[in-house]
Amino acid sequence: MDYSTMPDSKKKQIIEQQYCVEKKSFQQIAVLMNTYTNRIRRDAQKFQILIRTKSEAQKNALSTGVHKHPTKGTVRSEDTKNKIGQAVLKNWEDMSPEELERRQNQAKAQWESLSEDQKSNLINMANKAVRSSSKTGSKLEKFIFNKLIQEGYEATFHQEQTLLNTKLQIDIFLPKLNTAIEIDGPSHFLPVWGEEALQRNIKYDNKKTGLLLGKGCLLIRVKQFKDYSPTRAALVCDQLLVHLKEIKNNLKNITNKLIEIGD
């Protein structure tokens, strides 16, 4: 039967099967039906079939093998990766409030579309990751520590120290500079795990700050406001290295014992 003479019920059935179930594109369906791509698209809109976004269409084309990923298998240099990361970061920073809100609403809609089991599984995975990072260190902590070692600094990672009969675990400690570095994730200043947990973290941080400064240590607190990315981590490291160079050159004359930097 010619597509143009088919009843709407038949057209709808074909598009739902080919587009929604078999994940074919409008162009592929048009070829099968010996008609035009725009006719299939217009009919899909008329039948109120949810049309894939450009991004979703691209992902679908890659997953079904219609297109090959343009960069798959490409080996990029660290310099190229950093430039790409900086471009992406700038794009987010320059994003309009309207576009940011649209993306936030899209993310909320995706979350709400998940089943309760899927939500529960993601929450459990997130909790497990947080517990693991508290013991083994977060991505940002490890990035900074490795960068400091590369720069020639003597550093210890997650070393437990006793200050005034209180055992404290310092994220990163530079013994030759008598400098402690604490990396504070969002849960240190936002109620990520509830207001009670936030106040507990703030109280503990204040106690640790007081004990470290009281012992004569220098303290650098790195505030991680956003999700981890290698690009942001590199920018934070640049700030940190500037302060450490100043401390190294003027160790005996440093008056500001507490320094705060952010991503």
Asked, for residue 144, whether it belongs to a domain, the answer is yes
Q: How many CB atoms lie within 10 A of CB 106?
A: 11
Q: Are 100 and 148 contained in the same domain?
A: no
The predicted model scores a pTM of 0.56
| Domain end call among 87, 108, 135 | 135
Look at residues 103, 143, 171 and name the one whose alpha carbon lies nearest to residue 241: 143
User: DSSP readout, the chain?
Assistant: --GGGS-HHHHHHHHIIIIIIS---HHHHHHHHTS-HHHHHHHHHHTTPPPPPHHHHHHHHHHTTSS--TTTTPPPPHHHHHHHHHHHHHHHHT--HHHHHHHHHHHHHHHHTS-HHHHHHHHHHHHHHHHHHHHH--HHHHHHHHHHHHTT---EEEEEEEETTEEEEEEEEEGGGTEEEEEE-GGGTS-TT-HHHHHHHHHHHHHHHHHHHHTT-EEEEEE--S---HHHHHHHHHHHHHHHHHHHHTGGG----EEEEE-
Q: Are 30 and 94 contained in the same domain?
A: no
Asked, for residue 212, whether it belongs to a domain, the answer is yes
Q: Are 46 and 111 contained in the same domain?
A: no
| Domain end call among 96, 117, 135 | 135
Asked, for residue 69, whether it belongs to a domain, the answer is no
| Domain end call among 108, 135, 162 | 135
Taking only the tens place, the pLDDT of each residue in 131-143 is 666 666 788 999 9
57-67: average pLDDT: 72
73-83: average pLDDT: 67
- pLDDT at 62 exceeding the cut of 90: no
The pLDDT value given to residue 230: 86
Taking only the tens place, the pLDDT of each residue in 163-221 is 656 677 889 999 999 999 999 988 888 887 778 888 988 898 998 899 889 888 999 99
Q: Are 206 and 118 contained in the same domain?
A: no
Q: Are 52 and 120 contained in the same domain?
A: no
Pull the structure tokens for residue 47: 């039948």
Asked, for residue 117, whether it belongs to a domain, the answer is yes
Asked, for residue 68, whether it belongs to a domain, the answer is no
CATH of the domain at 174: 3.40.960.10
Q: Are 153 and 252 contained in the same domain?
A: yes
Asked, for residue 72, whether it belongs to a domain, the answer is no
Range of the domain at 19: 3-63
Residue 4 binned pLDDT confidence (cut-offs 50, 70, 90): confident
229-240: average pLDDT: 90
Asked, for residue 70, whether it belongs to a domain, the answer is no
Longest dimension (CA), the chain: 90
Q: How many CB atoms lie within 10 A of CB 65?
A: 7
Asked, for residue 71, whether it belongs to a domain, the answer is no
- Alpha-carbon span 206 to 204, nearest angstrom: 5
Pull the structure tokens for residue 241: 């290295």
Q: Are 33 and 105 contained in the same domain?
A: no
Q: Are 196 and 231 contained in the same domain?
A: yes
Q: 15-19, 119-123, 124-128, 253-257: lowest mean pLDDT where?
A: 124-128
The pLDDT value given to residue 262: 82
Pull the structure tokens for residue 229: 């990315």
Taking only the tens place, the pLDDT of each residue in 122-177 is 777 766 766 666 666 788 999 999 999 999 999 999 877 656 566 778 899 999 99
Q: Which residues of 7-30 are buried (b: 16+ CB within 10 A; e: fewer)?
A: eeeebbebbeebbeeeebbbebbb
Q: Are 111 and 202 contained in the same domain?
A: no
Q: Are 126 and 28 contained in the same domain?
A: no
Count of domains forming the chain? 3
Phi-psi region for residue 43, left (φ > 0), alpha (ψ -120 to 50) or beta?
Answer: alpha
Q: Are 42 and 103 contained in the same domain?
A: no
Q: Are 51 and 87 contained in the same domain?
A: no
